[in-house]
Structure 1
Amino acid sequence: MSWLPPPSLESFDRYVMNDIPIRLIRLSNMKFVGRDDVKKHFRSSVPPGRDWNYHPSQTVKYAILSHRWLDEGEPTYEEMKNDKATGLGYEKLKNFCEKAQEYDVEFVWSDTCCIDKSSSTELDDSIRSMFRWYRNSTICIVHLAQSETLNLMMSDEWMERGWTLQELLAPQRIKFYNKHWMPLTGDRNDKSRESIEIFGILQRATGIPSEDLHAFYPKAYHRVDERMTWAARRRTTRVEDVAYSLMGIFDVSMQIAYGEGGERAFSRLTEAIMKAGDPSVFNWKGSAASHHTSRAIPQSPQSFVGHPNLGLPTTRRMQLEMTMTSLGLRVPLVLFPLHPRSRTVLGNGYERIVFDCPLCPTIKLDITALQVIMPRPEYHHYALGIVNYSLRHDGSREIVQVQCRSVGLILMRTSENAGATTTCTLEPNALVGLKVINPPEKTFKQWGILHGVGLVKVDFMSVPNESSFYIDREHLEVVYL
């Protein structure tokens, strides 16, 4: 039996109750309406039966506002509910509503007044759903309160705020207005490919490639490192919002917990992103999050600034299995031992280390890392952990496919004199069935990422980029970072 789409009315009902804002403003009377009211308003416009080409967004139309909040005077939910909204913020809302009417919509949404912020449940729901609400809008109207012309857009504060990043990327249609509510272009949709001039300005102001500005797709397994740099130049009033404002961009969800602090919120975001397995989440440098058990978690989006373009594949075949545990981030890596051939102190807490690889003489790594205090160099071991490998089956066993031009982490672990540990003398047959051995001379702590390095490029041999080779699965080792 062939698959059939659900009835159009069923799709419409599910969409209204889940994928549009909790409440909207009706333009005809400036009153709040809930989802049930919206459903009644549009229900007669839903085509009957099952329509392959129907999507509820074709029926449910609303405009959404993107703007920089005033320091004070924005209309609140309670003021709008009780018809007491006044001042500059309310004037801005009315100007937005006037422009929205030009797009033939009956409903609008603004983050200043359409969320009951006294309800923690509603606030949590709204923050986690906001990307989707902007995505599903008929038009996103952007008010640039500091700009009069296109050339002044570059320095407008709207370009520097955290929440406006998703408000730029999420909508499929967007329109920019200047401080006087005059359109900045003659285009009806400033995201159309005809808006060449404004896109050049947006690229320079945000660092976002043109293709992402035209049509952005939220993913957690695709170019995490690059997308983090888009947020690095932005700021938020609440430190936790640095992380919360990125959930939609990476298509992840987490509970809102204001008061936890910016670093903890960003750590939780990173953990959620890691579940998708994109290796580029390791492509950062600097100090790790101070409170976290794992040293693989960065402090903020700024940690990703200056990352090299590694050309990592974005296919799911190259995803890493990552699991956060009480021992750290559990991840299987292809390990190659490294030998430090030379070390040079550079100052400012950094050193230069040149590595050889005993198993692959063609590998020569020259890296700059945070200086490691080494009273006994022989007690330190290093390894290269390849992240962009894939598992294959040859019919009888599992083998590992490694790209000839790979990307990996520099790992370090320390050993300790295990023989110095107090051991007991056992009576004969004290442990029946166990083979007791002498204590080892050294035991090793778990692997950790060499601080201040991030991901590095590795050329196993000079061959085309897509070339690869196969090795035994014994080289794949589970580590806790």
Structure 2
Amino acid sequence: MSRGHTRSSFKSNEVIQRSSISITSPDSRVKCIPWKLEVQQIMFATPIGHGAAAPANNVAENAESDVQNEIDEISCNEIDQDGAPTEADIMTVTAELVFNEMPSHLIYISDDYETMTLIDRETLVDLFRPELIRACKDLVSKDKLPDVVRQNLRYAALSHRWLSVGEPTFQEMSVERNHQSTRPGFIKLRKFCQKAREYGCRLAWSDTCCIDKRSSAELDEAIRAMFKWYRNAEICIVFLADSSSISDFPEEVWFQRGWTLQELLAPPRIKFYGSSWEELGRSRNDKEDHSMLQALSQVTGISRQNLLYFSPGLVDVREKMIWASKRRTTRIEDVAYSLIGILNISLSVAYGEGDRAFRRLMEAIMQACREWQILAWAGPHSPFQASTPRSPLAYCAFDEASANILLPDRYIMDRPSKLGDPFFTMTKRGLELEVILEHGKKTQVIRLISDSASFYDVTARCDVTFLPFSHDYLFFVLGSSIDSAYGGWQKVETQKIVTIRTKREVYRQVTTVWL
């Protein structure tokens, strides 16, 4: 049987210990590879009047005091002059904020709520220039300048489920001024702008009409920066078209859409409105409402901690994939694109690539993430890369046994235990991974049970007596294939993530495989 490309190496177990048991399945072309990595945790601790001057001549003393006061006044004037922002400083800070932290187009709402004008960044800077100069002219220091500018350029963001027809477009908003259309989309937009003004925002952003989708550059920027735009909004106003109360959340389609996941997590302030634009929560910020948070956590499976303090990045990636698995997108590419901001990674946008988008996302994750849990998936693999899953649904293929082993922090006998190889990487050969790989040894220890020859539904059982401190392992079923890129190992598809419980830890030499 072809072994593919393997490289053997032995790692000292003084700090890092790898242990596993390997077996041969009834099918001689399939190997079952358990694997485990235990890292000892090293902790470091660290313990946690002026004297009076002699009296002097009153005249001399007063003269000296006057001189000192004059010097102090001059010094203060110099400090104020040096620290006060100039008009150039004000406009520099404004441009930096508008062009780097705010959407490319915004709706300017008139004081009478009747006029909604779509403006670009250059127009925004010119429009607010006199007001910003007046607001900043009395500042004595440049330190407060960014806060004052941001306060005057507050905007609201709309989160909603698109109508099948009738949403206002960028082109319509560009040519019309008084949008009195009775189309449902325009009615929704006017209601949103009304709520934005109630929150003190004269600027508003809606994804239906504030992105020029004819411009590939603008569309690409919007998808990459959308998480940031929602996070920087003064308030995110959520319109739930299918809800009239919190009890309707389980059936609300908004909670089933892919893009709305980041629209829930990103904003620090959020307000939910029902189908008739009635408030569904009791607070101005629904993330401060205990009942609302409880309902949101139940319907999404996201903890209160993450709802309140979510931080984007490549931490707990598998958990984020499980959140995404409960949602759907119209375009298949959006399964990947809607996770760019949540994972805080860079990924180019190329509509038309289909399933390749999620494969590229997984490759980008594997290049930077060191969490072994992202390798724990089952079900269909990508049609372009057998070592990566086809969609986030693959991360939900676990049972009670594997759910326990996949906990982020597991403690065995009061000893922190980390599983898996954290140094995996995606290469031209495929996924490079270190595992315990043995051929034909200890076959009597484990039995594979399968309902079919394809090992689609496979479990593993250990023929040893259960011990209180027995060890759980996650392992791959690998098979050799002449169809793989290098004629080596491939991950065999299983319906569930496969785990096994053993009597004791076994330390073996590790081998590098490319999947």
* TM-score (normalizing by structure 2): 0.68
Whether contact under 8 Å (1:139, 1:173) holds in the other structure is: yes
> Is 1:347 aligned to residue 451 of structure 2?
yes
Partner of 2:76: none
Aligned equivalents of 1:9 and 1:306: distance in 2?
53
Aligned equivalents of 1:112 and 1:296: distance in 2?
37
Moved more, 320-329 or 18-27: 320-329
Are residues 414 and 109 of structure 1, via their aligned partners in 2, closer, same or farther at CA, if it must alter by over 3 Å? closer
Whether contact under 8 Å (1:8, 1:49) holds in the other structure is: no
1:324 Cα deviation from its structure 2 partner: 2.5
Q: Which amino acid aligns with 1:37?
A: T
Are residues 96 and 133 of structure 1, via their aligned partners in 2, closer, same or farther at CA, if it must alter by over 3 Å? same
Matches of residues 250-261 of structure 1 in structure 2 within 5 Å? 250-261=343-354
Matches of residues 157-176 of structure 1 in structure 2 within 5 Å? 157-176=253-272
Are residues 266 and 414 of structure 1, via their aligned partners in 2, closer, same or farther at CA, if it must alter by over 3 Å? closer
> Is 1:327 aligned to residue 429 of structure 2?
yes
Partner of 2:318: 225
Partner of 1:76: 169
Are residues 291 and 116 of structure 1, via their aligned partners in 2, closer, same or farther at CA, if it must alter by over 3 Å? same
1:100 Cα deviation from its structure 2 partner: 0.6
Aligned equivalents of 1:245 and 1:227: distance in 2?
12
Select the structure that is richer in strand: 1
Moved more, 300-309 or 97-106: 300-309
Partner of 1:272: 364
Which one of 2, 5, 16 corresponds to residue 98 of structure 2? 16
Matches of residues 284-323 of structure 1 in structure 2 within 5 Å? 284-292=377-385, 295-307=386-398, 308-309=403-404, 310-312=406-408, 320-323=422-425
Q: Which amino acid aligns with 2:261?
A: L
> Is 1:116 aligned to residue 212 of structure 2?
yes
Partner of 2:58: none
Q: Which amino acid aligns with 1:249?
A: I
Q: Which amino acid aligns with 1:330?
A: E
Aligned equivalents of 2:509 and 2:223: distance in 1?
44
Deviations 1:275-318 (A, max 9, x none): 222222112111211222xx220011111114325123599999
1:79 Cα deviation from its structure 2 partner: 0.5
- The list of structure 1 runs, each at least 4 consecutive aligned residues, that deviate by more than 6 angstroms after superposition, is 6-9, 314-319, 361-364, 457-460
Aligned equivalents of 1:280 and 1:14: distance in 2?
39
> Is 1:240 aligned to residue 333 of structure 2?
yes
Partner of 2:56: none
1:172 Cα deviation from its structure 2 partner: 0.7
Aligned equivalents of 1:407 and 1:343: distance in 2?
15
Which one of 297, 305, 308 corresponds to residue 214 of structure 1? 308
Are residues 406 and 147 of structure 1, via their aligned partners in 2, closer, same or farther at CA, if it must alter by over 3 Å? same
Whether contact under 8 Å (1:282, 1:454) holds in the other structure is: no
Aligned equivalents of 1:60 and 1:412: distance in 2?
57
SS in 1 for 2:368: coil
Aligned equivalents of 2:277 and 2:154: distance in 1?
22
Are residues 459 and 188 of structure 1, via their aligned partners in 2, closer, same or farther at CA, if it must alter by over 3 Å? farther
Partner of 1:38: 124
Structure 2 unaligned blocks of 5 or more? 1-84, 411-415
Aligned equivalents of 2:502 and 2:514: distance in 1?
25
SS in 1 for 2:188: helix
Are residues 182 and 351 of structure 1, via their aligned partners in 2, closer, same or farther at CA, if it must alter by over 3 Å? closer
Are residues 119 and 319 of structure 1, via their aligned partners in 2, closer, same or farther at CA, if it must alter by over 3 Å? farther
Q: Which amino acid aligns with 2:436?
A: L
Partner of 2:33: none
Are residues 36 and 286 of structure 1, via their aligned partners in 2, closer, same or farther at CA, if it must alter by over 3 Å? same
Partner of 1:372: none
Aligned equivalents of 1:145 and 1:476: distance in 2?
55
Q: Which amino acid aligns with 1:335?
A: I
SS in 1 for 2:286: coil
Partner of 2:294: 200
SS in 2 for 1:296: strand
Aligned equivalents of 1:39 and 1:156: distance in 2?
39
Partner of 2:4: none
Partner of 1:390: none
> Is 1:451 aligned to residue 493 of structure 2?
yes
Are residues 363 and 8 of structure 1, via their aligned partners in 2, closer, same or farther at CA, if it must alter by over 3 Å? farther
Aligned equivalents of 2:97 and 2:238: distance in 1?
25
Whether contact under 8 Å (1:26, 1:107) holds in the other structure is: yes
SS in 1 for 2:194: helix
Q: Which amino acid aligns with 1:147?
A: S
Are residues 326 and 212 of structure 1, via their aligned partners in 2, closer, same or farther at CA, if it must alter by over 3 Å? same
Are residues 19 and 304 of structure 1, via their aligned partners in 2, closer, same or farther at CA, if it must alter by over 3 Å? same
Aligned equivalents of 2:304 and 2:352: distance in 1?
36
SS in 2 for 1:242: helix
Partner of 2:74: none
Identity, in percent, stands at: 38
Whether contact under 8 Å (1:134, 1:167) holds in the other structure is: yes
Deviations 1:247-269 (A, max 9, x none): 111111211111111x2111111
Aligned equivalents of 1:351 and 1:318: distance in 2?
21
- If asked which structure has higher relative contact order (CA below 8 Å, sep 6+), I would say 2
Matches of residues 49-60 of structure 1 in structure 2 within 5 Å? 49-51=141-143, 57-60=150-153
SS in 2 for 1:297: strand
Partner of 1:412: 478
Larger radius of gyration: 2
Whether contact under 8 Å (2:460, 2:499) holds in the other structure is: no
Whether contact under 8 Å (2:481, 2:489) holds in the other structure is: no
Whether contact under 8 Å (1:154, 1:201) holds in the other structure is: no
1:344 Cα deviation from its structure 2 partner: 4.8
Root mean square deviation, CA, Å: 3.5
Deviations 1:412-446 (A, max 9, x none): 35499xxxxxxxxxxxxxxxxxxxxxxxxxxx963
1:354 Cα deviation from its structure 2 partner: 4.3
